[in-house]
Structure 1
Amino acid sequence: MREFWIIFKQAFMTKAKTKSFIITTALVVAGIFLLSNLPRILDSIDGIGGDEPTAMKVIDTSGKLDDPLSAVLQANESDITIEPTKESEKDLEKQVRSEDIESFLTLSLDETNTIQAKYTTLSSIEMSLPEPLRNALQTVQAGIKADELSLSGDQVNSLFTQVNFENNNISASAKSEDELNQARILVYVLMFVIYFAVILYSGMIATEVATEKSSRVMEILISSVSPVKHMFAKVLGIGTLGIVQILVYGIVGFIAFKTSASEATEGIGSFFNFTDINPMTLVYAVVFFLLGYFLYATLAALLGSLVSRTEDVQQMIMPMTLMIVAAFILAASGLGNPELVYLKYASFFPFFTPLVMFLRVGMLDLPMWEPLLAIAIMLVTIFVLGWFGARVYRGGVLMYGPSRSLKDIKKAIQLGKE
């Protein structure tokens, strides 16, 4: 057991001290603090430039829309100010083309007293000006029609009263609307965490094994430690490092958003307010994360033992990568409707279970036997894969030369018997 913990510590500390790991962790931490303070930074930049109002030249052929539009914009506290002009449309177009002005607005009323507006600009993606102008003109239009119908302000407001629509789902597996929305957010976030953790740390394990083989260190290690101990020590060591890194990101994120109080961060805080989430959902998140990691990490160690050059690692683990990508696509397809039939069957396939079953258990009230059966299948798969992986690993770490992909598994088993 002493040898196991020595390799465990070596795998953990070696990766933790690498420049790439430290730089990546530092960049992500800095990115979290930057994201949490982004509204404050943007406000300071806007403050440097000043909040000068935008003057909008308006051609009003009706002579009735300038003042109402200006009044609505002022009431909305918009930075746009209306500047009526008698210039022709062609003259203003020339000014736009020569970039003397950014844009202008042409207004008119047709025979039904409906506003006809045309916004002219050179920008194909301009949205900051047209949208508030469109909304303000819609308000002016409502006022014109209200005058035609002799409606009071209260009567106009009553026309826009929101309908009280309640979604009542009587399905045995359905959750309330608030629970479903919060569960969807939590599932979506944790799906990304599981997906990237499996991709990143499993690849790290395969690369670490291949690196030791390429430097011939493996021949020395297996003379004093059994390949099985070596494989699982690598898996647990790098897995623990990954969990620590994720916890650091989580703690830093919590501190960053708590210490940078602003309207945006308060909005994000309310967005991620999981008061209606079943605590068991969080338990399942941890369980499926750990099981998913060990399942793919064991497979990665197996595949990494078959290559003797780090350049061949990505090619060898490509089938494993495609499986986790397929699992993520399946789970993402069920965010809108987790009751799809194919998701039920896919959730019991062990390589899809960490994402797909977590999606279902997070968004539906499933009978207890379904997640428990999925967990049992994963445990059995990890045990079988560990047993088979140990046999392959025992011979694979002694194989050198060019890799012939998965065909080398048979050769590795035979070499391990010898």
Structure 2
Amino acid sequence: MREFGIIFKQAFLSKAKTKSFVITTAIMIAAIFLFANISKIIDTVQTLTGSGDSEQVLYVKDDSGELVDRLSAQLSDVKVELTNEPKETILDKVKSEEIDSLLTVSVNQQGIINAEYTTMSLMDFAIPMQIQEALQSIQTEMKADELSLTGEQVQTLFTPIEFEQTNVSPSAKSEDELNQARVLVYVLMFVIYLSVIMYSSMIAMDVANEKSSRVMEILISSVSPVKHMFAKVLGIGLLGIVQIVIYGLAGFIALKTSATEVPGGFSDFFSFSDLNIGTLIYAAVFFLLGYFLYATLAALLGSLVSRAEDVQQMIMPMTLLIVAAFIIAATGLGNPEIGYLQYASYFPFFAPLVMFLRVGMLDLPMWEPLLSIAIMLVTIFVLGWFGARVYKGGVLMYGPSRSLKDIKKAIQLGKE
């Protein structure tokens, strides 16, 4: 047990003390705080540069002679200037960026407003939308006057119907709960996906580096390969848990101290006021199970190569499994009741993401996630037993690794 503890501690501390780990963690924490306060930062930059104080000027050529005043009253944030210059002259000024934009408006014989907006800006979306809404409102007023309708009568034309949707499915959630669950599930899915890829690859790379430096021969002479493998898996797993906890605390503090106070904004979107603690518990369970499943597989594959350059090629099938699981789970964000998701959630290599998606967005009967967890536990046990046999011989194999056929050779070598 002492040898196990030494390797476990070495696997954890050797990675935790590296500059890359510290720098990456610091950058991610800074990015979390930056993202949480992005609205305040943008407002501050606009204040300092003065860009937020500049008023948009809209030049209007009104062929009808009756729309400019109404349009000016509708557009409170835009200064409207009437121009009587020829259209070609104004267009030349727009192209030379002497003026921001030109709006040409007219009313046809049927009393319909025709408008043409011209600008040089590729990212000019907000102003045209405001203009379109304003002209639509003016159009409504003109038609109301034409039909001699009062203001109250016009309002009745746009009164929304009362529509209530009821879902009697036993797994259904309310729309608010579903939207909030969708955001949380997507974030946690992404965390599980990236963590499993990163830390599993780290294990395979660490084993390959020890083999290439011949350190493995010394380690195996004093500790069994099985203890060495599981010490690696648990040590780097603990490192991953610590890093994720740090990110989680940073995210929580960033949201609580965020300067964004606009209702319906960023802070409301990620407030999780109705957060289901069960979802977080399932996230932790599926993260741990997914990590141990793929980490054991990564250790097995890493033991087959003796050069760090061959690691990525050897773990490519494992990586494709994780990517496929994420893609399948992502397709269910819009509709988590798709049939193939139910079957995929019981496949052990897809279950960490797909079953978590389903249990996070649907009210499933308890037996479904428990069955998926049981299948994963059995798979981890079998993979650990098989992986230990391969690892025992694989760590003693040197030379170029050609393919997964080397697994048979590693098992035979481990028996000797």
Candidates 267, 275, 281, aligned match of 1:283: 281
Deviation per CA, 1:254-273, whole angstroms, max 9, x where unpaired? 11222222235973332234
Q: What SS class does the counterpart of residue 79 from structure 2 fall into?
A: strand
- Greater mean alpha carbon deviation, residues 189-198 or residues 356-365: 356-365
Q: What SS class does the counterpart of residue 129 from structure 1 fall into?
A: helix
Asked if 1:39 is matched to 2:33, the reply is no
Aligned residue runs from structure 1 range 49-198, under 5 A:
49-50=49-50, 51-74=53-76, 78=77, 80-198=78-196
Match of 1:238 in 2: 236
- Greater mean alpha carbon deviation, residues 47-56 or residues 244-253: 47-56
Deviation per CA, 1:302-361, whole angstroms, max 9, x where unpaired? 111111111111111100000011111111111122112111111110000111111111
- What is the CA–CA distance in structure 1 between the aligned matches of 2:349 and 2:184, rounded to whole Å? 21
- Alpha-carbon distance, 1:97 to partner: 2.1
Aligned residue runs from structure 1 range 235-384, under 5 A:
235-263=233-261, 267-384=265-382
- Alpha-carbon distance, 1:276 to partner: 3.7
Q: What SS class does the counterpart of residue 167 from structure 2 fall into?
A: coil
Deviation per CA, 1:128-158, whole angstroms, max 9, x where unpaired? 3212111221222122122222223333333
- Alpha-carbon distance change, 260 to 369 in structure 1, aligned in 2, over 3 angstroms: closer
- What is the CA–CA distance in structure 1 between the aligned matches of 2:114 and 2:288, rounded to whole Å? 61
- Alpha-carbon distance, 1:123 to partner: 3.3
Deviation per CA, 1:190-246, whole angstroms, max 9, x where unpaired? 111110110111111111111111111000001111111111111111111111111
TM-score by length of 1: 0.96
Any unmatched runs of 5+ in structure 1? none
Contact 1:393 1:412 in 2 (8 A): yes
Equivalent position amino acid for 2:61 in 1: I
Asked if 1:7 is matched to 2:7, the reply is yes
Deviation per CA, 1:85-123, whole angstroms, max 9, x where unpaired? 001111111112222223211010011211110011233
Candidates 375, 385, 400, aligned match of 1:402: 400
- What is the CA–CA distance in structure 1 between the aligned matches of 2:188 and 2:263, rounded to whole Å? 20
- What is the CA–CA distance in structure 2 between the aligned matches of 1:59 and 1:408, rounded to whole Å? 77
- Greater mean alpha carbon deviation, residues 311-320 or residues 119-128: 119-128
- What is the CA–CA distance in structure 2 between the aligned matches of 1:241 and 1:254, rounded to whole Å? 20
Equivalent position amino acid for 2:16 in 1: A
- Alpha-carbon distance, 1:164 to partner: 2.7
Equivalent position amino acid for 2:24 in 1: T
- Alpha-carbon distance change, 336 to 8 in structure 1, aligned in 2, over 3 angstroms: same
- Greater mean alpha carbon deviation, residues 140-149 or residues 213-222: 140-149
- Greater mean alpha carbon deviation, residues 134-143 or residues 286-295: 134-143
Contact 1:167 1:177 in 2 (8 A): no
Contact 1:198 1:296 in 2 (8 A): yes
TM-score by length of 2: 0.96
Equivalent position amino acid for 1:46 in 2: Q
Aligned CA RMSD, in angstroms, stands at 1.5
Q: What SS class does the counterpart of residue 34 from structure 2 fall into?
A: helix
- Alpha-carbon distance, 1:274 to partner: 3.2
Equivalent position amino acid for 1:24 in 2: T
Match of 1:23 in 2: 23
- What is the CA–CA distance in structure 2 between the aligned matches of 1:58 and 1:30, rounded to whole Å? 46
Any unmatched runs of 5+ in structure 2? none
- What is the CA–CA distance in structure 2 between the aligned matches of 1:36 and 1:166, rounded to whole Å? 34
Contact 1:288 1:358 in 2 (8 A): yes
- What is the CA–CA distance in structure 1 between the aligned matches of 2:356 and 2:263, rounded to whole Å? 28
- What is the CA–CA distance in structure 2 between the aligned matches of 1:395 and 1:100, rounded to whole Å? 76
- Alpha-carbon distance, 1:298 to partner: 0.5
- What is the CA–CA distance in structure 1 between the aligned matches of 2:180 and 2:281, rounded to whole Å? 16
Contact 2:261 2:267 in 1 (8 A): no
Contact 2:397 2:410 in 1 (8 A): yes
- Alpha-carbon distance, 1:277 to partner: 4.4
Contact 2:208 2:302 in 1 (8 A): yes
- Alpha-carbon distance, 1:372 to partner: 0.9
Equivalent position amino acid for 1:71 in 2: A
Paired-residue identity, %: 69
Candidates 212, 219, 222, aligned match of 1:221: 219
The number of residues matched between the two structures is 414
Contact 1:178 1:276 in 2 (8 A): no
- What is the CA–CA distance in structure 1 between the aligned matches of 2:240 and 2:264, rounded to whole Å? 29
- Alpha-carbon distance, 1:382 to partner: 0.1
Contact 2:60 2:81 in 1 (8 A): yes
Q: What SS class does the counterpart of residue 58 from structure 1 fall into?
A: strand
